[in-house]
Protein backbone atom coordinates (compact mmCIF):
# COMPACT_ATOMS: atom_id res chain seq x y z
CA UNK A 1 0.00 0.00 0.00
CA UNK A 2 1.26 3.42 -0.87
CA UNK A 3 2.06 5.79 1.96
CA UNK A 4 -0.60 8.29 2.97
CA UNK A 5 1.81 10.29 5.12
CA UNK A 6 2.90 12.28 2.08
CA UNK A 7 0.16 14.89 2.50
CA UNK A 8 1.31 15.66 6.03
CA UNK A 9 4.90 15.99 4.84
CA UNK A 10 3.79 18.29 2.04
CA UNK A 11 1.69 20.55 4.26
CA UNK A 12 4.35 20.70 6.94
CA UNK A 13 7.02 21.77 4.49
CA UNK A 14 4.78 24.03 2.37
CA UNK A 15 3.66 25.99 5.45
CA UNK A 16 6.84 25.73 7.49
CA UNK A 17 9.41 26.83 4.92
CA UNK A 18 7.82 30.25 4.24
CA UNK A 19 7.98 31.05 7.95
CA UNK A 20 11.66 30.14 8.01
CA UNK A 21 12.14 32.46 5.05
CA UNK A 22 10.18 35.17 6.87
CA UNK A 23 12.49 34.79 9.86
CA UNK A 24 15.51 34.99 7.58
CA UNK A 25 14.19 38.26 6.18
CA UNK A 26 13.67 39.71 9.66
CA UNK A 27 17.23 38.87 10.70
CA UNK A 28 19.11 39.75 7.52
CA UNK A 29 16.88 42.28 5.78
CA UNK A 30 17.34 40.36 2.53
CA UNK A 31 14.00 40.13 0.70
CA UNK A 32 13.57 36.56 -0.53
CA UNK A 33 10.10 35.63 0.71
CA UNK A 34 8.12 36.51 -2.44
CA UNK A 35 9.89 34.14 -4.80
CA UNK A 36 11.41 31.66 -2.37
CA UNK A 37 8.08 30.89 -0.69
CA UNK A 38 6.63 29.88 -4.05
CA UNK A 39 9.65 27.68 -4.73
CA UNK A 40 9.21 26.08 -1.30
CA UNK A 41 5.84 24.66 -2.42
CA UNK A 42 7.63 22.89 -5.26
CA UNK A 43 10.28 21.59 -2.86
CA UNK A 44 7.54 20.26 -0.57
CA UNK A 45 5.83 18.61 -3.54
CA UNK A 46 9.00 16.90 -4.74
CA UNK A 47 9.87 15.53 -1.30
CA UNK A 48 6.32 14.33 -0.58
CA UNK A 49 5.79 12.69 -3.96
CA UNK A 50 9.24 11.36 -4.76
CA UNK A 51 10.30 10.13 -1.34
CA UNK A 52 7.07 9.45 0.60
CA UNK A 53 4.20 8.73 -1.78
CA UNK A 54 6.27 7.16 -4.59
CA UNK A 55 3.42 6.69 -7.10
CA UNK A 56 3.80 3.81 -9.54
CA UNK A 57 2.95 6.00 -12.54
CA UNK A 58 5.80 8.39 -11.80
CA UNK A 59 6.00 11.90 -10.38
CA UNK A 60 5.02 13.77 -13.55
CA UNK A 61 1.92 11.72 -14.30
CA UNK A 62 0.79 11.58 -10.66
CA UNK A 63 0.94 15.37 -10.36
CA UNK A 64 -0.70 16.13 -13.74
CA UNK A 65 2.41 17.60 -15.36
CA UNK A 66 1.97 14.97 -18.06
CA UNK A 67 0.52 13.96 -20.38
CA UNK A 68 0.34 17.16 -22.44
CA UNK A 69 -0.50 15.45 -25.71
CA UNK A 70 -2.19 16.40 -27.87
CA UNK A 71 -0.17 19.54 -27.26
CA UNK A 72 -2.55 21.67 -29.34
CA UNK A 73 -5.35 20.94 -26.90
CA UNK A 74 -3.22 21.92 -23.93
CA UNK A 75 -2.05 25.07 -25.74
CA UNK A 76 -5.66 25.94 -26.54
CA UNK A 77 -6.63 25.61 -22.88
CA UNK A 78 -3.69 27.79 -21.86
CA UNK A 79 -4.71 30.44 -24.38
CA UNK A 80 -8.32 30.25 -23.24
CA UNK A 81 -7.22 30.69 -19.61
CA UNK A 82 -5.14 33.76 -20.47
CA UNK A 83 -8.07 35.42 -22.25
CA UNK A 84 -10.53 34.32 -19.57
CA UNK A 85 -8.67 36.08 -16.77
CA UNK A 86 -8.26 39.24 -18.81
CA UNK A 87 -11.96 39.24 -19.64
CA UNK A 88 -13.02 38.59 -16.05
CA UNK A 89 -10.77 41.35 -14.74
CA UNK A 90 -12.03 43.82 -17.35
CA UNK A 91 -15.63 42.92 -16.47
CA UNK A 92 -14.94 43.37 -12.75
CA UNK A 93 -13.35 46.78 -13.34
CA UNK A 94 -16.31 47.78 -15.51
CA UNK A 95 -18.73 46.81 -12.74
CA UNK A 96 -16.57 48.70 -10.24
CA UNK A 97 -16.86 51.79 -12.43
CA UNK A 98 -20.61 51.41 -13.10
CA UNK A 99 -21.37 51.01 -9.40
CA UNK A 100 -19.07 53.91 -8.52
CA UNK A 101 -16.98 51.79 -6.18
CA UNK A 102 -13.71 52.31 -8.01
CA UNK A 103 -14.19 54.89 -10.78
CA UNK A 104 -12.53 54.46 -14.14
CA UNK A 105 -10.63 57.32 -15.73
CA UNK A 106 -11.08 56.91 -19.47
CA UNK A 107 -10.35 60.57 -20.12
CA UNK A 108 -7.01 61.26 -18.47
CA UNK A 109 -5.91 57.68 -17.59
CA UNK A 110 -4.46 59.14 -14.41
CA UNK A 111 -3.38 55.87 -12.74
CA UNK A 112 -1.64 54.69 -15.90
CA UNK A 113 0.20 58.00 -16.27
CA UNK A 114 1.18 57.98 -12.61
CA UNK A 115 2.66 54.49 -12.94
CA UNK A 116 4.48 54.87 -16.25
CA UNK A 117 4.90 58.60 -17.00
CA UNK A 118 4.25 60.86 -13.98
CA UNK A 119 5.38 63.86 -16.01
CA UNK A 120 2.28 63.57 -18.18
CA UNK A 121 -0.16 63.82 -15.26
CA UNK A 122 -3.17 65.99 -16.00
CA UNK A 123 -3.19 65.42 -19.73
CA UNK A 124 -6.24 64.03 -21.47
CA UNK A 125 -6.70 61.55 -24.28
CA UNK A 126 -5.66 57.95 -24.66
CA UNK A 127 -1.88 57.63 -24.16
CA UNK A 128 -1.41 54.72 -26.55
CA UNK A 129 2.34 54.70 -26.07
CA UNK A 130 1.88 54.18 -22.32
CA UNK A 131 -0.76 51.51 -22.92
CA UNK A 132 1.67 49.59 -25.12
CA UNK A 133 4.52 50.12 -22.66
CA UNK A 134 2.40 48.86 -19.77
CA UNK A 135 1.24 45.84 -21.75
CA UNK A 136 4.76 44.88 -22.83
CA UNK A 137 6.11 45.34 -19.31
CA UNK A 138 3.42 43.12 -17.82
CA UNK A 139 3.73 40.47 -20.52
CA UNK A 140 7.44 40.31 -19.73
CA UNK A 141 6.60 39.92 -16.05
CA UNK A 142 4.11 37.21 -17.00
CA UNK A 143 6.83 35.21 -18.75
CA UNK A 144 9.25 35.69 -15.85
CA UNK A 145 6.76 34.61 -13.20
CA UNK A 146 5.59 31.47 -15.04
CA UNK A 147 8.21 29.24 -13.33
CA UNK A 148 7.16 30.55 -9.90
CA UNK A 149 3.48 30.04 -10.74
CA UNK A 150 4.36 26.49 -11.74
CA UNK A 151 6.00 25.92 -8.35
CA UNK A 152 2.75 26.76 -6.56
CA UNK A 153 0.35 25.08 -8.95
CA UNK A 154 2.40 21.90 -9.03
CA UNK A 155 1.79 21.58 -5.31
CA UNK A 156 -1.77 22.85 -4.85
CA UNK A 157 -3.58 21.83 -8.03
CA UNK A 158 -1.11 19.27 -9.41
CA UNK A 159 -0.35 17.16 -6.35
CA UNK A 160 -2.71 17.97 -3.48
CA UNK A 161 -5.89 18.12 -5.60
CA UNK A 162 -5.20 14.65 -6.97
CA UNK A 163 -4.58 13.27 -3.48
CA UNK A 164 -7.60 14.84 -1.79
CA UNK A 165 -10.23 14.39 -4.49
CA UNK A 166 -10.19 10.66 -3.90
CA UNK A 167 -10.74 11.03 -0.17
CA UNK A 168 -12.87 14.17 0.12
CA UNK A 169 -14.60 14.57 -3.23
CA UNK A 170 -13.96 17.22 -5.88
CA UNK A 171 -15.76 20.23 -4.40
CA UNK A 172 -14.54 19.80 -0.80
CA UNK A 173 -10.98 19.32 -2.06
CA UNK A 174 -11.13 22.42 -4.26
CA UNK A 175 -12.59 24.61 -1.52
CA UNK A 176 -10.24 23.34 1.19
CA UNK A 177 -7.16 23.83 -1.00
CA UNK A 178 -8.29 27.35 -1.89
CA UNK A 179 -8.69 28.17 1.80
CA UNK A 180 -5.26 26.74 2.61
CA UNK A 181 -3.72 28.81 -0.17
CA UNK A 182 -5.14 31.96 1.37
CA UNK A 183 -3.84 31.11 4.85
CA UNK A 184 -0.49 30.08 3.35
CA UNK A 185 0.04 33.76 2.42
CA UNK A 186 -0.01 34.86 6.08
CA UNK A 187 3.77 35.54 6.25
CA UNK A 188 3.32 38.12 3.48
CA UNK A 189 0.82 40.06 5.60
CA UNK A 190 2.56 39.90 9.00
CA UNK A 191 5.11 42.70 8.35
CA UNK A 192 2.25 45.23 8.14
CA UNK A 193 1.24 44.53 11.74
CA UNK A 194 -2.22 43.80 13.14
CA UNK A 195 -3.93 46.32 10.86
CA UNK A 196 -2.23 44.74 7.89
CA UNK A 197 -3.75 41.34 8.72
CA UNK A 198 -7.34 42.44 8.03
CA UNK A 199 -6.87 42.29 4.22
CA UNK A 200 -6.02 38.60 4.64
CA UNK A 201 -9.73 37.82 5.12
CA UNK A 202 -11.00 39.10 1.74
CA UNK A 203 -7.80 37.79 0.18
CA UNK A 204 -8.54 34.30 1.51
CA UNK A 205 -12.10 34.47 0.19
CA UNK A 206 -10.64 35.47 -3.17
CA UNK A 207 -8.19 32.56 -2.97
CA UNK A 208 -11.08 30.13 -2.52
CA UNK A 209 -12.81 31.33 -5.70
CA UNK A 210 -9.51 31.72 -7.51
CA UNK A 211 -8.34 28.27 -6.43
CA UNK A 212 -11.62 26.58 -7.36
CA UNK A 213 -11.46 28.20 -10.79
CA UNK A 214 -7.86 27.11 -11.31
CA UNK A 215 -8.81 23.66 -10.08
CA UNK A 216 -11.62 23.28 -12.60
CA UNK A 217 -9.32 24.50 -15.35
CA UNK A 218 -6.89 21.80 -14.26
CA UNK A 219 -9.59 19.15 -14.29
CA UNK A 220 -11.19 20.24 -17.55
CA UNK A 221 -7.87 20.34 -19.40
CA UNK A 222 -6.36 17.27 -17.80
CA UNK A 223 -3.10 19.01 -16.86
CA UNK A 224 -1.79 21.73 -14.55
CA UNK A 225 -0.53 24.02 -17.33
CA UNK A 226 -3.71 26.10 -17.76
CA UNK A 227 -3.73 26.62 -13.97
CA UNK A 228 -0.10 27.78 -14.18
CA UNK A 229 -1.01 30.28 -16.90
CA UNK A 230 -4.04 31.50 -14.92
CA UNK A 231 -1.95 32.03 -11.79
CA UNK A 232 0.75 33.91 -13.69
CA UNK A 233 -1.58 36.15 -15.68
CA UNK A 234 -3.54 37.04 -12.53
CA UNK A 235 -0.35 38.06 -10.69
CA UNK A 236 0.92 40.22 -13.54
CA UNK A 237 -1.30 41.38 -16.40
CA UNK A 238 -4.51 41.48 -14.38
CA UNK A 239 -3.11 43.51 -11.48
CA UNK A 240 -0.46 45.46 -13.34
CA UNK A 241 -2.21 46.26 -16.59
CA UNK A 242 -5.98 45.87 -16.76
CA UNK A 243 -6.79 47.73 -13.56
CA UNK A 244 -4.02 50.32 -13.91
CA UNK A 245 -5.01 51.27 -17.46
CA UNK A 246 -8.57 52.26 -16.59
CA UNK A 247 -8.27 53.21 -12.90
CA UNK A 248 -8.74 56.68 -11.49
CA UNK A 249 -5.62 57.71 -9.59
CA UNK A 250 -7.72 59.75 -7.15
CA UNK A 251 -9.62 56.60 -6.13
CA UNK A 252 -6.57 54.63 -5.00
CA UNK A 253 -7.09 55.51 -1.35
CA UNK A 254 -10.54 53.90 -1.57
CA UNK A 255 -9.35 50.47 -2.70
CA UNK A 256 -11.12 47.84 -0.63
CA UNK A 257 -10.45 44.13 -1.05
CA UNK A 258 -14.15 43.38 -0.55
CA UNK A 259 -15.24 45.78 -3.27
CA UNK A 260 -12.67 46.12 -6.05
CA UNK A 261 -11.15 43.92 -8.73
CA UNK A 262 -11.54 40.16 -8.82
CA UNK A 263 -11.49 40.01 -5.01
CA UNK A 264 -14.51 42.32 -4.78
CA UNK A 265 -18.08 41.06 -4.86
CA UNK A 266 -18.27 41.85 -8.56
CA UNK A 267 -15.16 39.80 -9.29
CA UNK A 268 -16.32 36.91 -7.10
CA UNK A 269 -19.64 36.89 -8.94
CA UNK A 270 -17.86 36.78 -12.30
CA UNK A 271 -15.48 34.03 -11.19
CA UNK A 272 -18.43 32.10 -9.77
CA UNK A 273 -20.11 32.15 -13.16
CA UNK A 274 -16.93 30.91 -14.85
CA UNK A 275 -16.59 28.14 -12.26
CA UNK A 276 -20.17 27.01 -12.86
CA UNK A 277 -19.66 26.81 -16.62
CA UNK A 278 -16.38 24.89 -16.26
CA UNK A 279 -17.85 22.52 -13.68
CA UNK A 280 -20.81 21.66 -15.90
CA UNK A 281 -18.61 21.27 -18.95
CA UNK A 282 -16.17 19.01 -17.13
CA UNK A 283 -18.91 16.84 -15.64
CA UNK A 284 -20.52 16.38 -19.05
CA UNK A 285 -17.26 15.56 -20.81
CA UNK A 286 -16.22 12.01 -21.44
CA UNK A 287 -14.35 11.68 -18.16
CA UNK A 288 -11.65 14.18 -19.09
CA UNK A 289 -9.99 15.54 -15.98
CA UNK A 290 -12.34 13.79 -13.56
CA UNK A 291 -10.36 10.62 -13.17
CA UNK A 292 -10.00 9.15 -9.72
CA UNK A 293 -6.44 8.76 -8.48
CA UNK A 294 -6.19 5.98 -5.99
CA UNK A 295 -3.19 6.04 -3.70
Q: 17-61 pLDDT, tens per residue? A: 999 999 999 999 999 999 999 999 999 999 999 999 999 999 999
Q: Is residue 265 pLDDT above 70, yes or no? A: yes
pLDDT of 64? 94
pLDDT of 106? 84
Is there a contact between 199 and 185 (Cβ–Cβ < 8 Å)?
A: no
For the CA atoms of 238, 13, 213, 183, what is the dihedral angle to 10 degrees? -70
Cα 251 from Cα 227, distance rounded (Å): 32
Q: Among candidates 229, 91, 63, which has minimal Cα distance to 156?
A: 63
- Give, for 10, the enclosing helix (H) or strand (E): helix 6-28
Q: How far apart are the first and last CA of the chain?
A: 8
pLDDT of 178? 97
pTM greater than 0.85: yes
Q: Is residue 236 pLDDT above 70, yes or no? A: yes
Burial zone of 24 (CB within 10 Å; 0-12 exposed, 13-18 middle, 19+ buried): middle
Cα 133 from Cα 136, distance rounded (Å): 5
Q: Among candidates 74, 34, 99, which has minimal Cα distance to 266?
A: 99
Q: Is residue 275 pLDDT above 60, yes or no? A: yes
Q: What is the DSSP letter of 125?
A: S
Residue 280: how many CB atoms within 10 A of its CB?
A: 11
Give residue 260's pLDDT band: very low, low, confident or very high (50, 70, 90): confident
Q: Is residue 286 pLDDT above 90, yes or no? A: no
Amino acid sequence: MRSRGDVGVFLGMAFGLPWLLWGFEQVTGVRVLFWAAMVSVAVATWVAVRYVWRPAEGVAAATSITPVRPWRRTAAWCGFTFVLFLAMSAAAVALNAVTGVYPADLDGFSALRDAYAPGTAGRSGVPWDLVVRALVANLMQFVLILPLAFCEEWGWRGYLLNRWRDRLGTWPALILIGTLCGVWHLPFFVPAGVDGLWPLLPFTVFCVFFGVLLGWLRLASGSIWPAVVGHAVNNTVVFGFVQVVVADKAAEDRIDGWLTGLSGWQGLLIMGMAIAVLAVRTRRSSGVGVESRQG
